Chain A
Amino acid sequence: MKVLVPVKRVLDYNVKVRVKSDQTGVDLANVKMAMNPFDEIAVEEAVRLKEKGTVTEIVAVSIGVAQCEAILRTALAMGADRGLLIETDQDLEPLAVAKVLKAVVAQENPDIVLMGKQAIDGDNNATGQMLSALLDWPQATFASKVEIAGSEALVTREVDGGLQTLGVQLPAVITTDLRLNEPRYASLPNIMKAKKKPLDTRALADYGVDAAARLTVVKVTEPAKRSAGIKVDSADALIANLKTAGVL
């Protein structure tokens, strides 16, 4: 069984986000970038399925600038077998990413596309669902547990009000939630080994996909700041203040 894991290069989640003063976007110059945390979870899950013997090959794919190679190497160091970098300087919208991934699926024929439920930059939570629509595959989003039973994946999902378990026929798209697993740190020997694993680079144009932007960014602004209030020294003082504020 083969798994395709799309991984996105994003601003590291510990980095403070700064909006550019000209309102054109978020300042990404000279800041630490990393693999989207949900995609690390997806890589980890794929590696665990391989360790169990369910999966035989893991291909990690990233669409973006040349520096995405670094996060593909991370995926390889965690246990992916091959990397595919589809290079572009264009910022792709989820629909365009899904169209490119559809073309990759046609070449690679994976049984499962295992991906993050959301990228922590765009926060769209969209690409997996779009890909499954384009492929006409079933989808199991927000997974907190994945079990493969023959030609079906049993997926427990984090939904409104609790959990839901679905059985999806393979091939399928599965998107990861936070509690699916805790991703491993790549060991030094594995990081060294990853440097020798195959990594193919292609141009976006090779895929002949309409990746034109549908959205134009009018502006990016900072949200209204909340200012710190006051410290109170007792429960009684707190309640008095809440009564004055009209919320009790």
Chain B
Amino acid sequence: MAVLVIADHDGAHLRDTTLKVITAAQKLSGDIDVLVYGEASAVAAQAAAAAGVRKVLTAESAELKADIAEAVSALIVSLAGGYDAIALPATASGKNVAPRIAAALDVSIISDVIDVVAGDTFVHPIYAGNALETVKTADAKKVLTVRPTAFAPVAATGGSAAVEAVAVPAVTLKTRFVSDEKVVSDRPELGAAKVVVSGGRALGSADEFKAVLEPLADKLGAAVGASRAAVDAGYAPNDYQVGQTGKVVAPELYIAVGISGAIQHLAGMKDSKVIVAINKDPEAPIFQVADFGLVEDYKTAVPALLKALG
């Protein structure tokens, strides 16, 4: 059995998520190849250095760089013959393309895998993480998306896999890339950060969101997250949303500021090691999952926290 892992990267750096998907893949097989598509050259070397990788495949084109689903799935389907399983990270990019690959191969998709029980049996959350379903698949070939927070990364160094360019299949695309609007930030990425500071509707405006949360995040070297209410209201960009339908994070420390703790939000952060809630309502449901709760107005609590941190 061999597994093809699809790398998560930004053209310059291999993301930690890839190393976590490799860990999940190791539960299926010792033969793991990693596909780096898009802008592959710098990242391929990093993937080759990861522990436990047999071979790194690279594929480059403008469409792959733009992550156009038709192009990416055609590429992966063209390689699928050599593998028993294809594992993608459960990121927006992975979720966009994995079901397309599965349907093209006429197999089911197993979404958001958090545990590998056996070669054909997987655990994944359903109902916003309120239930965990163990499913056994009858498909010979498996297509999975893997929830990175559920697996530890393999070592980033020590490996010496060969790198090999693969042919990019010609596809007549019915999709054209128009533009990108990416949020640039010097902060750690939400999915990878050790500390996350998240803000909710209580913050009241985009300016307040920034003014209150950024100094705290800077002090803690934290990534910034948000509730859906804060994103909907325009206080924070969409990419910040933590929850059932946003990002799933599991940092060492998660600080929720002015967030009530709706189940859809909890779905994205309840596996954090330590949860802190700052909320002026002692009855807010967030306190039911918080290790440490501070019942106070954020307007006084956050400045006091900053001061105490020195």
Contact = CB atoms under 8 A, between A and B. Distances in A.
Contact of A169 (B100, B102, B134, B175): B175
Contacts of A167: 175-178
A223 B132 contact: yes
Given A130-B100, A218-B121, A239-B305, A160 B289 contact: no
Interface in A163-188: 163-169, 172, 177-179
B108 A94 contact: yes
Interface string B97-131: 11111111011111110000100010001111111
Contact of A223 (B93, B121, B131, B238): B131
A17 interface: yes
B73 interface: yes
Given A166-B175, A216-B135, A229 B130 contact: no
Contact of B92 (A123, A159, A241): A159
A29 interface: no
Contacts of A229: 275, 290-293
Nearest to A117: B245
Contacts of B104: 133
A161 B183 contact: yes
A129 B304 CA distance: 48
Interface string B147-183: 0000000000000000000000000011111111111
Contacts of A123: 111-112, 125-128, 244
B292 A138 contact: no
Nearest to A161: B182
Contacts, number: 257
B69 interface: yes
B55 interface: no
Contacts of A17: 127-128, 130-131, 263
Give the interface size class of chain B: 35 or more
A95 interface: yes
Interface in A194-248: 214-223, 226, 228-236, 238-239, 241-242, 245, 247-248
Given A154-B178, A166-B68, A221-B131, A179 B109 contact: no
A87 B253 CA distance: 47
Contacts of A133: 73, 99-101, 103-104
A95 B109 contact: yes
Interface centre among A25, A120, A235 (most CB of B within 10 A): A235
Interface stretch (B21-29, B40-48, B136-144, B201-209): B136-144
Dominant secondary structure at the A interface:
mixed
Contacts of B305: 235, 238-239
Given A95-B102, A238-B294, A162 B135 contact: no
Dominant secondary structure at the B interface:
mixed
B70 interface: yes
Contacts of B128: 17, 120, 123
B299 interface: no
A228 B288 contact: yes
B100 A139 contact: yes
A238 B127 CA distance: 33
A159 B134 contact: no
A34 interface: no
B18 to A, nearest CB: 13
Interface centre among A179, A214, A219 (most CB of B within 10 A): A214
Interface string B244-288: 110000001100000000011000001001111000001000011
Contacts of B176: 166-168
Interface in A113-164: 117-118, 120-134, 137-142, 144, 154, 158-164
Interface of B: 10, 66-70, 73, 91-93, 95-104, 106-112, 117, 121, 125-139, 173-183, 195, 220, 228, 231-232, 237-239, 244-245, 252-253, 263-264, 270, 273-276, 282, 287-295, 301, 304-305, 307-309
